[in-house]
Amino acid sequence: MTSPEAHWREALAQGRLLLQRAPDGSVVFPPRLAAPGTGDALEWFEASGAGSVYSLSWIQRKPPAPAYHVALIDLDEGSRLLSRVEGVTPETLAIGMRVEAFVDQGGDVPLLLFRAVPEI
Amino acid sequence: MGDTFPRGRTAIAGLATFGVGEMPGYTSMELTAQAALLAIADAGLTLPDVDALFICQPDDFFAGLSFAQYLGLQPRYTDNNRTGGSSFMSHMAVAAMMLDAGYIDCALIAYGSNQRSNGGKLATKITSDQWDAPYAPIFPLTSYALAAARHMHEYGTTRADLAAVALAARAWANTNPEAFAKGPLSLEDCLSARMISTPVSVRDCCLVTDGAAAIVMTRIDRARDLARTAVPLLGAAAATWWNSIVQAPDVTVTAAKESGARAMAMAGVSTSDIDTAQLYDAFTINTILFLEDLGFCPKGEGGRFVSSGAIAPGGSLPVNTNGGGLSCCHPGMYGLFAIIEAACQIRGDAANQLPDVNIALAHGNGGTLSSQATVVLGSMATL
């Protein structure tokens, strides 16, 4: 048996975002051994990666270092996580913005990031 | 099953603060021990009377053991409950039940930190969890910023509303000799203050000070015969809904909603009975969220409530009458200072003493809006 966290990270390294679903339909993240609140068994499924920005904060740094941000992302299938949205500015990033997940493989470890979905 | 609690059967018999502001050269344990000895003396008791210790220190995970050693006590019970700045409200809940059960006879609850003199930054070994850390939020500040940003989006709360909390705190602090941050502060000062993590600026953040605090609790029959006016504990409740703010179903609703309702039910009071509220204001958004979650105003109305002047001197609900964590003191964990200000208002010896205080509420916050704990204190007339 693989640890749920290790299983999640292995999938991420393959470019896949996994979530877990409880028998009552609720979606769980971060990965757990059992459903929070009930202890029920959980099932893995691959998330679409689609979501929207629930809240955000721009963190200031000493100039000339630019500000960076963190964002709370609500995934369409359920559950919320902290990440950031690439390619946005304080003027363009807003609560409610539609985003999609991608995995940045450029760093020491794979990192889940988001990019804005263009408005149709 | 509902809560059962020994309403009014235990009391704060003595209290003290020590070294609020700057105390260079002192260790955290020295500050704590001095506050403890002052609180014991305030009660008219002596060190050997203490048979239970409750403590949570910023820099010592075994603080209960260190404290017993430092004081030279062999306590019948030592509690090191660590739920952040709310720990001390939880300590009171446990102490009250142990006192009432006869398991202990005299509880000492204490805290102290030298964080201002020893580095000048928040002293904590707690950090973001492994899911959040890769994105580099400032711990704990950005968690509060995320709650504030959502509150502004959902309810139209403004930065001026956040500033109203800081301005009220400063107004109270200006007439409190113990307060660390005094002097004029304007709305413009707040709005133009250096931004740290939007929408939280430096003026939305609590102070970094040194300071220590301690209270002594006994059963009411003993407390009423001691040196000072006894302050009965009417209700105490703690609630935990999450650790990381990311796991909050709604970042604008905290577990204060549960802890406040339970503590007030134990006390047999409602918000309209409360003469003053001491709310852990690590950041300006805290006061707004807790006013809503404790039921002093509807959800979403906290910004407009504070901007109306309700919590400032002369307002309908005096809040953080010592200046709070924003302008009086914040030595890393503020919970015990909120309790002491509430108790002083009941005893009648607060720096900004209000008239006719019979019921005072103190609310503690721990982690990132995570642990919430509320105590309701009363005068002897409420028994």
Of B121, B123, B144, B82, nearest to B369 by C-alpha is: B144
The structure tokens listed for A5 are 């966290």
* B198 → closest Cβ in A58, A72, A84: A58
Alpha helices in chain B (DSSP H): 28-43, 63-71, 87-101, 141-155, 159-173, 187-191, 220-223, 256-267, 284-293, 302-307, 335-347
Binary contact (A57, B142; C-beta < 8 A): yes
CB neighbours of B328 closer than 8 A, spacing ≥ 6? Answer: B20, B169, B172, B173, B176, B178, B179, B180, B181, B207, B320, B322, B337
CA distance A54 to chain B (A): 7
| Rg of chain B on CA atoms, in Å | 19
Choose from A5, A20, A54, A57 for mutation: most chain B CBs within 10 A: A57
CB < 8 Å to B199, chain A: 57
Reported as a pLDDT band with limits 50, 70 and 90, residue A120 is: low
Cross-chain residue pair A30–B195, CB shorter than 8 Å: no
pLDDT at A72 > cutoff 80: yes
Q: What is the largest CA-CA distance in chain A?
A: 51
| Structural domain span for residue A95 | 4-116
A72 touches chain B (CB under 8 A): yes
Q: Residue B18 pairs with which residues in a beta bridge?
A: B212
Between CA A75 and CA B290 the distance in angstroms is 28
Find chain A residues with C-beta within 8 A of B138's C-beta: 59
Angle at alpha carbon of residue B165, lines to B160 and B166, rounded to 5°: 90
pLDDT-derived band at A11, boundaries 50, 70, 90: very high
CB-count exposure of residue B246 (10 Å: 0-12, 13-18, 19+): buried
The whole-number pLDDT of residue B119 equals 81
Query: How many domains does one find in chain A?
Result: 1
Q: Tell me whether A103 touches chain B (CB under 8 Å).
A: no
Q: What domains lie within chain B, and their CATH numbers?
A: 10-120+207-382 (3.40.47.10)
A2: pLDDT confidence band, cut at 50, 70 and 90? confident
- Report whether B163 contacts B187 (CB < 8 A): yes
Who among B132, B197, B246 is closest to A57 (CB)?
Answer: B197
Nearest to A83 by CA among A44, A47, A37, A35: A47
Mean pLDDT over each residue of chain A, to the nearest integer: 96
Task: Give A57's contacts in chain B (Cβ within 8 Å).
Answer: 137, 142, 145-146, 149, 197-200
**Which residue in the set B137, B194, B196 is minimally distant from A70, CB to CB?**
B137
Q: Which amino acid is at B363?
A: H
The structure tokens listed for B375 are: 């105590």
Report how far residue B137's alpha carbon sits from residue B149's, in angstroms, rounded to the nearest whole number: 14
| Contacts B253 to A, Cβ<8 Å | none
Average pLDDT per block of 10 residues along chain B, 383 residues long: 89 98 96 98 98 95 96 98 96 98 98 91 79 96 98 98 98 98 98 98 97 98 97 98 96 98 98 98 98 98 98 98 98 97 98 98 97 98 98
